[in-house]
Chains A and B, each alone.
Chain A
Amino acid sequence: DSGVTQTPKHLITATGQRVTLRCSPRSGDLSVYWYQQSLDQGLQFLIQYYNGEERAKGNILERFSAQQFPDLHSELNLSSLELGDSALYFCASSVVGREWETQYFGPGTRLLVL
Protein backbone atom coordinates (compact mmCIF):
# COMPACT_ATOMS: atom_id res chain seq x y z
CA ASP A 1 0.00 0.00 0.00
CA SER A 2 1.64 3.23 -1.22
CA GLY A 3 -0.59 5.54 0.83
CA VAL A 4 -2.00 7.18 -2.30
CA THR A 5 -5.72 6.64 -2.76
CA GLN A 6 -7.79 7.00 -5.90
CA THR A 7 -11.52 6.89 -6.47
CA PRO A 8 -13.40 5.43 -8.14
CA LYS A 9 -11.66 2.16 -8.98
CA HIS A 10 -13.75 1.64 -12.08
CA LEU A 11 -15.80 4.00 -14.21
CA ILE A 12 -17.96 3.18 -17.20
CA THR A 13 -19.46 6.01 -19.18
CA ALA A 14 -20.57 6.98 -22.66
CA THR A 15 -18.93 9.08 -25.35
CA GLY A 16 -19.47 12.79 -24.92
CA GLN A 17 -19.82 12.56 -21.16
CA ARG A 18 -17.70 14.16 -18.43
CA VAL A 19 -16.11 12.40 -15.47
CA THR A 20 -14.02 13.37 -12.46
CA LEU A 21 -11.27 11.22 -11.03
CA ARG A 22 -10.08 11.86 -7.51
CA CYS A 23 -6.70 11.38 -5.86
CA SER A 24 -5.52 11.79 -2.28
CA PRO A 25 -1.74 11.95 -1.92
CA ARG A 26 0.31 10.33 0.81
CA SER A 27 0.23 12.16 4.09
CA GLY A 28 2.74 15.00 3.95
CA ASP A 29 3.20 14.96 0.18
CA LEU A 30 2.58 18.30 -1.50
CA SER A 31 2.97 17.29 -5.14
CA VAL A 32 0.60 15.23 -7.23
CA TYR A 33 1.14 13.77 -10.69
CA TRP A 34 -1.37 12.30 -13.12
CA TYR A 35 -0.47 9.58 -15.63
CA GLN A 36 -2.50 7.81 -18.29
CA GLN A 37 -1.88 4.23 -19.36
CA SER A 38 -3.52 3.06 -22.54
CA LEU A 39 -2.82 -0.10 -24.50
CA ASP A 40 -1.21 1.66 -27.42
CA GLN A 41 0.58 4.54 -25.64
CA GLY A 42 1.91 2.97 -22.46
CA LEU A 43 2.30 5.04 -19.30
CA GLN A 44 2.33 8.75 -20.10
CA PHE A 45 2.67 11.78 -17.88
CA LEU A 46 -0.25 14.19 -18.02
CA ILE A 47 0.22 16.93 -15.45
CA GLN A 48 1.83 17.81 -12.12
CA TYR A 49 0.64 20.03 -9.27
CA TYR A 50 2.54 21.32 -6.30
CA ASN A 51 0.72 22.81 -3.33
CA GLY A 52 -2.24 23.86 -5.45
CA GLU A 53 -0.29 25.25 -8.39
CA GLU A 54 0.31 23.64 -11.76
CA ARG A 55 4.00 22.83 -12.09
CA ALA A 56 4.40 20.84 -15.30
CA LYS A 57 2.29 19.71 -18.20
CA GLY A 58 2.76 16.68 -20.37
CA ASN A 59 0.62 15.13 -23.07
CA ILE A 60 -2.66 16.32 -21.62
CA LEU A 61 -5.52 16.99 -24.01
CA GLU A 62 -7.38 20.30 -23.90
CA ARG A 63 -10.53 18.35 -23.00
CA PHE A 64 -8.79 17.29 -19.80
CA SER A 65 -8.14 19.51 -16.83
CA ALA A 66 -6.94 19.06 -13.28
CA GLN A 67 -6.69 20.93 -10.05
CA GLN A 68 -5.27 20.49 -6.58
CA PHE A 69 -7.28 21.70 -3.64
CA PRO A 70 -6.14 23.31 -0.35
CA ASP A 71 -6.38 19.95 1.40
CA LEU A 72 -3.95 18.69 -1.31
CA HIS A 73 -6.28 16.20 -2.92
CA SER A 74 -6.44 16.45 -6.69
CA GLU A 75 -9.08 15.91 -9.30
CA LEU A 76 -8.67 15.10 -12.97
CA ASN A 77 -11.63 16.16 -15.09
CA LEU A 78 -12.15 14.49 -18.44
CA SER A 79 -14.81 15.95 -20.72
CA SER A 80 -16.30 15.25 -24.15
CA LEU A 81 -15.09 11.72 -23.70
CA GLU A 82 -14.09 9.65 -26.69
CA LEU A 83 -13.59 5.91 -27.07
CA GLY A 84 -9.83 6.47 -27.13
CA ASP A 85 -9.90 7.94 -23.63
CA SER A 86 -10.50 4.47 -22.23
CA ALA A 87 -7.44 3.81 -20.12
CA LEU A 88 -6.03 3.42 -16.66
CA TYR A 89 -5.44 6.73 -14.93
CA PHE A 90 -2.86 6.80 -12.16
CA CYS A 91 -2.09 9.43 -9.63
CA ALA A 92 1.28 9.63 -7.92
CA SER A 93 2.59 11.86 -5.16
CA SER A 94 5.93 13.03 -3.82
CA VAL A 95 7.02 15.31 -1.04
CA VAL A 96 7.73 18.58 -2.85
CA GLY A 97 7.80 17.47 -6.48
CA ARG A 98 11.50 17.77 -7.20
CA GLU A 99 13.32 15.65 -9.75
CA TRP A 100 15.19 13.47 -7.29
CA GLU A 101 12.14 12.46 -5.30
CA THR A 102 10.54 9.07 -5.48
CA GLN A 103 6.99 9.10 -6.75
CA TYR A 104 4.49 6.77 -5.12
CA PHE A 105 1.57 5.62 -7.21
CA GLY A 106 -2.03 4.96 -6.36
CA PRO A 107 -3.99 1.90 -7.50
CA GLY A 108 -5.49 3.72 -10.47
CA THR A 109 -8.93 4.34 -11.95
CA ARG A 110 -9.96 2.20 -14.89
CA LEU A 111 -12.08 4.25 -17.28
CA LEU A 112 -14.13 2.59 -19.98
CA VAL A 113 -15.85 4.82 -22.52
CA LEU A 114 -18.56 3.08 -24.52
Chain B
Amino acid sequence: AQTVTQSQPEMSVQEAETVTLSCTYDTSENNYYLFWYKQPPSRQMILVIRQEAYKQQNATENRFSVNFQKAAKSFSLKISDSQLGDTAMYFCAFVYSGGGADGLTFGKGTHLIIQP
Protein backbone atom coordinates (compact mmCIF):
# COMPACT_ATOMS: atom_id res chain seq x y z
CA ALA B 1 0.00 0.00 0.00
CA GLN B 2 1.10 3.52 -0.72
CA THR B 3 1.63 6.16 1.95
CA VAL B 4 1.98 9.91 1.56
CA THR B 5 3.61 12.03 4.26
CA GLN B 6 3.40 15.78 4.64
CA SER B 7 5.64 16.75 7.54
CA GLN B 8 4.62 20.41 7.84
CA PRO B 9 1.18 20.74 9.50
CA GLU B 10 1.22 24.53 9.11
CA MET B 11 3.31 27.18 7.39
CA SER B 12 3.05 30.96 7.37
CA VAL B 13 4.78 33.40 5.00
CA GLN B 14 4.43 37.02 3.98
CA GLU B 15 2.69 37.99 0.79
CA ALA B 16 4.99 37.96 -2.28
CA GLU B 17 7.43 35.53 -0.64
CA THR B 18 8.28 32.11 -2.03
CA VAL B 19 7.25 29.05 -0.04
CA THR B 20 7.98 25.34 -0.46
CA LEU B 21 5.71 22.59 0.83
CA SER B 22 7.18 19.14 1.38
CA CYS B 23 5.79 15.74 0.47
CA THR B 24 7.31 12.29 0.57
CA TYR B 25 5.69 9.04 -0.45
CA ASP B 26 6.37 5.37 -0.22
CA THR B 27 5.54 2.93 -2.98
CA SER B 28 6.98 -0.12 -4.65
CA GLU B 29 5.39 0.83 -7.96
CA ASN B 30 7.25 2.46 -10.84
CA ASN B 31 4.36 4.01 -12.74
CA TYR B 32 2.23 6.53 -10.95
CA TYR B 33 0.97 10.09 -10.86
CA LEU B 34 1.46 12.69 -8.16
CA PHE B 35 -0.76 15.67 -7.48
CA TRP B 36 -1.00 18.76 -5.36
CA TYR B 37 -4.54 19.81 -4.49
CA LYS B 38 -5.59 23.02 -2.76
CA GLN B 39 -8.58 23.14 -0.40
CA PRO B 40 -9.59 26.68 0.60
CA PRO B 41 -12.06 27.34 3.42
CA SER B 42 -14.87 26.91 0.88
CA ARG B 43 -13.92 23.17 1.01
CA GLN B 44 -13.76 22.56 -2.75
CA MET B 45 -10.63 20.60 -3.63
CA ILE B 46 -8.90 22.27 -6.57
CA LEU B 47 -6.13 20.72 -8.64
CA VAL B 48 -2.92 22.76 -8.48
CA ILE B 49 -0.47 20.63 -10.42
CA ARG B 50 0.09 17.08 -11.67
CA GLN B 51 3.28 15.12 -12.33
CA GLU B 52 3.65 11.87 -14.24
CA ALA B 53 6.34 9.69 -12.67
CA TYR B 54 7.79 8.70 -16.05
CA LYS B 55 8.54 12.34 -16.88
CA GLN B 56 11.86 13.67 -15.63
CA GLN B 57 10.90 17.28 -16.28
CA ASN B 58 9.29 18.99 -13.31
CA ALA B 59 5.74 20.24 -13.88
CA THR B 60 4.98 23.96 -13.70
CA GLU B 61 1.74 25.94 -13.69
CA ASN B 62 2.25 29.68 -13.60
CA ARG B 63 3.48 30.49 -10.05
CA PHE B 64 3.40 26.84 -9.00
CA SER B 65 6.18 24.37 -9.68
CA VAL B 66 7.28 21.04 -8.27
CA ASN B 67 10.60 19.46 -7.44
CA PHE B 68 10.11 15.77 -8.24
CA GLN B 69 12.88 13.49 -7.01
CA LYS B 70 11.81 9.96 -7.95
CA ALA B 71 14.71 8.11 -6.36
CA ALA B 72 14.20 9.96 -3.10
CA LYS B 73 10.39 9.63 -3.41
CA SER B 74 10.02 13.34 -2.80
CA PHE B 75 7.54 15.72 -4.41
CA SER B 76 7.67 19.29 -3.09
CA LEU B 77 5.54 22.23 -4.24
CA LYS B 78 7.02 25.69 -4.68
CA ILE B 79 4.75 28.72 -4.75
CA SER B 80 6.40 31.87 -6.05
CA ASP B 81 5.17 35.42 -5.43
CA SER B 82 2.61 34.13 -2.92
CA GLN B 83 -0.78 35.82 -2.79
CA LEU B 84 -3.45 36.14 -0.09
CA GLY B 85 -5.68 33.84 -2.15
CA ASP B 86 -3.12 31.06 -1.79
CA THR B 87 -4.17 30.65 1.85
CA ALA B 88 -5.59 27.12 2.05
CA MET B 89 -4.93 23.51 2.99
CA TYR B 90 -2.61 21.84 0.50
CA PHE B 91 -2.74 18.10 -0.03
CA CYS B 92 -0.22 15.92 -1.78
CA ALA B 93 -1.74 12.83 -3.45
CA PHE B 94 -0.60 9.67 -5.22
CA VAL B 95 -2.30 7.26 -7.60
CA TYR B 96 -0.91 4.13 -9.21
CA SER B 97 -1.26 4.33 -12.99
CA GLY B 98 -0.82 0.68 -13.89
CA GLY B 99 -4.40 -0.48 -13.65
CA GLY B 100 -6.91 -1.30 -10.95
CA ALA B 101 -9.01 1.28 -9.15
CA ASP B 102 -7.37 2.26 -5.91
CA GLY B 103 -8.31 5.91 -5.81
CA LEU B 104 -6.07 8.72 -4.69
CA THR B 105 -3.97 8.35 -1.53
CA PHE B 106 -3.67 11.70 0.24
CA GLY B 107 -1.32 13.08 2.84
CA LYS B 108 -2.67 14.82 5.95
CA GLY B 109 -2.18 18.23 4.44
CA THR B 110 -0.29 21.46 5.13
CA HIS B 111 -2.17 24.56 6.22
CA LEU B 112 -0.57 27.46 4.36
CA ILE B 113 -1.24 30.98 5.63
CA ILE B 114 -0.23 33.99 3.55
CA GLN B 115 0.13 37.08 5.74
CA PRO B 116 -0.50 40.58 4.30
Note whether A and B form a binding pair.
no
What residues of chain A have their CB less than 8 Å away from a CB belonging to chain B? none
